[in-house]
């Protein structure tokens, strides 16, 4: 991949956007593509506006013979992002893909030092706050070949059992390749994020899926992704991003913030692969996701995270049996009990 191409992308050209996806996001499982080092980062994106409920104007015939907005009286709504605020995270849910748009979490050295919860007491459960017709279901993942991949990992929420339970809601999940990704490289990446509390007293991470195009032999670019479930219900992302904010002071209106953005393909990645190869300009994630992440953070308060810390993963053997269970996983408390708790989040 050429650095000149990335320069074009940062400049914002349309051609550069297509080139970026070709470079960062190859869909071939056997080849994990790399991305050179980039630019800077912005606040969790705002959900799409709620339905219009105000009275609709009726134009006079002298103004217009038609009233297209009149259909809204029947209940047509714009796209809705279901915002979910839980003890462990805040998220915006995409009803079309049955995956989150984004999931935001916050942890500190103090929160990670507490061990008041265990995964054995948590169960995967559907999000009761999402209308059933738009909900990701446990059955969608059953024998799908994909893990229910936490966007906010359970290990970041050990400070209370309720917080850990809330990470197991399906609106915090996306289908992820298991061996070689969710149970391996992605888990190491999550651990890397936790180690940042050695350098920063406050760390925020926004995580989410991407559905990126690839170039086909005919030279055209197409977006292609699998949908799992019967009937097909949940989209399988082609890639995942993380935007990291390392705050030098907690809740400071003037403190500087170290930023980094990463995009990883949803495929097996060798543990020998450098994490720096997946660092991208924040603008690349914004272009691909349609979100903005730091437009309210002044330039003078921004730093580049990977110039302050070594952006490499620490390869450790994880207990893979903890990473993924069957669709019928049951802990010491049942799904109904946790669903009841979810209604008050």
Active-site residue set: 150
Question: Facing residues of 90 across strands?
Answer: 85, 104
Rounded to whole angstroms, the Cα distance separating 5 from 27 reads 19
Contact 150, 172 (CB under 8 A): yes
The alpha-carbon radius of gyration of the chain (Å, integer) is 21
Contact 158, 110 (CB under 8 A): no
Mind giving me the DSSP string for 149-179?
EESS-GGGGTT-HHHHHHTTBGGGEEEE-II
3-state secondary structure of 122: coil
Say which DSSP state 201 is in.
S
Contact 172, 99 (CB under 8 A): no
Closest CA to 146 of 170, 122, 127: 170
Rounded to whole angstroms, the Cα distance separating 326 from 126 reads 15
CA-CA-CA-CA torsion for 317, 330, 163, 143, nearest 10 degrees?
A: 60
| Angle between helices 282-289 and 14-24 in degrees, nearest 10 | 100
Name the maximum alpha-carbon separation found in the chain.
73
Rounded to whole angstroms, the Cα distance separating 19 from 215 reads 9
| Angle between helices 14-24 and 3-11 in degrees, nearest 10 | 140
């Amino acid at each position: 991949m050429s650095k000149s191409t990335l320069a074009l992308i940062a400049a914002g050209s349309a051609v550069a956007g297509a080139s970026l996806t070709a470079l960062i996001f190859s869909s071939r499982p056997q080849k994990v593509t790399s991305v050179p080092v980039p630019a800077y980062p912005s606040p969790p994106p705002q959900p799409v506006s709620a339905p219009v409920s105000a009275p609709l104007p009726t134009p006079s015939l002298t103004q217009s013979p038609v009233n297209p907005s009149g259909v809204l009286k029947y209940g047509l709504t714009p796209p809705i992002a279901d915002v979910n605020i839980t003890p462990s995270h805040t998220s915006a849910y995409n009803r079309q893909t049955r995956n989150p748009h984004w999931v935001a979490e916050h942890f500190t050295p103090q929160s990670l030092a507490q061990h008041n919860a265990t995964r054995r007491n948590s169960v995967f459960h559907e999000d009761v706050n999402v209308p059933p017709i738009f909900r990701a279901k446990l059955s969608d993942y059953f024998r799908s070949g994909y893990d229910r991949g936490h966007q906010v990992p359970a290990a970041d929420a050990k400070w209370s059992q309720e917080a850990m339970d809330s990470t197991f809601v399906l609106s915090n999940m996306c289908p992820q390749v298991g061996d070689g990704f969710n149970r391996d490289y992605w888990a190491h990446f999550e651990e890397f994020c936790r180690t940042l509390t050695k350098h920063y007293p406050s760390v925020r991470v926004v995580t989410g899926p991407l559905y990126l195009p690839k170039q086909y032999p005919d030279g055209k670019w197409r977006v292609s992704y699998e949908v799992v479930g019967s009937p097909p219900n949940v989209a399988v992302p082609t890639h995942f991003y993380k935007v990291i904010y390392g705050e030098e002071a907690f809740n400071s209106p003037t403190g500087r913030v170290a930023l980094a953005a990463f995009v990883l393909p949803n495929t097996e990645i060798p543990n020998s692969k450098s994490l720096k190869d997946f660092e991208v300009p924040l603008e690349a994630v914004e272009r691909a996701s349609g979100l903005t992440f730091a437009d309210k953070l002044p330039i003078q308060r921004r730093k580049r995270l990977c110039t302050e810390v070594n952006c490499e993963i620490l390869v450790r053997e994880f207990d893979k049996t903890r990473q993924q269970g069957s669709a019928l996983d049951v802990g010491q408390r049942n799904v109904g009990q946790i669903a009841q708790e979810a209604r008050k989040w």
